Structures are given as structure tokens and as C-alpha cells.
Amino acid sequence: EYDCVSHSYTMALQSLVSPLALLSCERQCASFCSSFVILPNAIPQTAKKLESLWDDTVTELIATTPLCRKGMNDALTGELETAVNCFIMLWVHKKVMKSLISFQESIDSRIRQTVTNPATAELIDVRKDLLCPFALSCAELYKLNVCESPMDMMVCLHNTSKFIVDDIQNSCASGVGNLSTQSTDSDRFVLTTDDILSITLLLMTRVDIQHPTAFLLFMKHFTFSRTLHTKYGFFVATYEACVNWFESQTQGTAPPTPSLDARSFQISSSFFQKKPRQPQPPLLAAPSAKPSQRHRNIPSDASAPGTTSTSVTGTVPLTIDLEPSPKQQQQKRSLSFLDKY
């Protein structure tokens, strides 16, 4: 079982707007599922069709919902866009995933054969002092098989990396790990991006991910909001690097160890921790979405409110969500279901 973030978003959206406001979107989703034909070489076109529906729905909700019309700003617009993205993808999940799985069946079959080959794990260069059972991480990564939306998959990948840190710290605290307890102190213990990458590769040899490339396409093509431009995009990039490495292994062309452009960015355990919150009513606050330039006059290159950019050597800045401002916390309604992640 897993916490379905998309279901939480959908319920919040349905409580925020009238049933009639979503009726047109539901009818078009139903029509898409019953009559639209997804072709193997037309995945981007399929995503574009659903993105157009998403864009029109958000615009209509902003125009027809009193609460949205009165108090919309960059942050709330992004939250609404993410909620609608989840709403649509839950509707069409079965049809889209069935097609992606069928199209990628041959590649995924070869990757799974490579992943389950004991010789593959020996090629993965994980720092010896970081090795441990990774029980929590494996259990979390396995949930990727049952996620129903791109948002759920990205949360799953984020949580997997969080549990990697937890597993190492817990193993050292119990005397199982290879690092000293002092080394895993929450203020000192850091993992580089290459550490996260190599450990994720190792986890994928231990976990049966049923459709690795189909899941990747699902996240990359059917995320219409700006979520890929937040910290979740980093974890999707890590997963993509792992999938590409295993795919190269099936062709005998993979390097001994993959690398995320030789990044020097380091991840500490505090990266996954949030400060205690004061009690507040249910909100509409999720990762900010990329606004549509066609309908909503919001700068697409601006960082989302409540975020900061951490520079990574030789790469574009990595956006990491921080605590919302007091003003954002006082919003009467907001989607804050990702706060616990």
C-alpha cells in the first residue's frame, strides 16, 4: 500500500469546485478512454492532447469558481494546475499505461533480464562504507509498480532517496552499517548525487520494477505542471540515468558506472526534513505548476514562491522546495498534501 497523493489532490479539487465545473473535463476524459487511439510513435501527440484538456480545464476553473477568481496568484495557480493534472491522469491512467507498457514491452523485457543478472550488480560501484540492507528503500521503490499518476511516481522516487539516507543512518546506529555513528550525524552526513545514483542502481537490481521505461515515459510526457522543475525533477533525472544505464548494458555499451554530469551537489539528511508546522486548516498547497503562457500571464522562468535554487557545478540550478511563507500558510484553502513528503 502507498499514500496516493493524486487521490488527495482530486478529493481536495472536488471539494473546492462544483461538480458541474469538472463535468466537461470528465466527459472528455471518458471520450478519450473509449475512442482515442494511442499509436506507438505518437506518445508526444497523445500527451499534447491531454495537456490541452488540462490547460482548458484550469482556465475554466479559474474563470468560473468564485474562490479561484478572487484569490488566485502564482502559487495558488500552480497548486490548482497540479491538482487538475492529477485528476486527469487518474481518469486516463489505465488506458495510457496499458499502451506504454505494450509499446515498451521488448525494451523493458531486456532491461529486466539485465537487472536480474547477478553479474550486473557487480558492475555497480557503490562506496563500500555506504553498503547496508536498504530494506526501507527497496520497499518504497517497489511501490513504483502500483502508482497511478506521474505525481505519485515522483513522490515514490523522492521517498526512495529519503529512505536511502534513513537506511544508512539506521544501519550504522544498530552496528550493521560500515560508517561510524558520528559520520551519519544529521548535521554532517551527506551523499553526493553520484552516491544516490549508484545506490539507486543497486536498489533496482534488488527490486522487480515491472516496466522501467514505460514508467519513465509516463512521468516525462504526462506531467503538465511545473513539478518536473522542482526537486522532484532531480529524482526523475536520477531514475532516467539508471534506466538508460541498464538499457546500455543490454547493448554492451554501458560504462562501468554512470554519472549525473559529474555534479558536485551534495544531499544531506536535512534535505528531506521540514521544520515543525503550526496547526492549520486543510490547504490547496502543492509543488508549483508551470503556468500556461497561452492563458495565464505568469513568468515561466520564475522560481516558485517558497523555493530557492541551489547551484550545481556545471549544470542549471536545482530548485528545492522550502517552507511556505506565513502569508501562504494563511490561505483559507490550499492543497498541502505533499507536506508530509
Amino acid at 88: I
pLDDT band at 271 (very low <50, low <70, confident <90, very high): very low
Provide the CB-side half-sphere exposure for 33 (13 A, CA): 16
Angle between helices 43-64 and 19-35 (to 10 degrees): 170
The closest alpha carbon to 246, from 236, 260, 258, belongs to 258
Question: In the prediction, which pLDDT does 70 show?
Answer: 64
Rounded to an integer, the average pLDDT of 247-263 is 65
pLDDT-above-70 percentage for the chain: 66
Question: In the prediction, which pLDDT does 123 show?
Answer: 92
Question: In the prediction, which pLDDT does 183 show?
Answer: 53
pLDDT band at 129 (very low <50, low <70, confident <90, very high): confident
Question: In the prediction, which pLDDT does 76 show?
Answer: 78
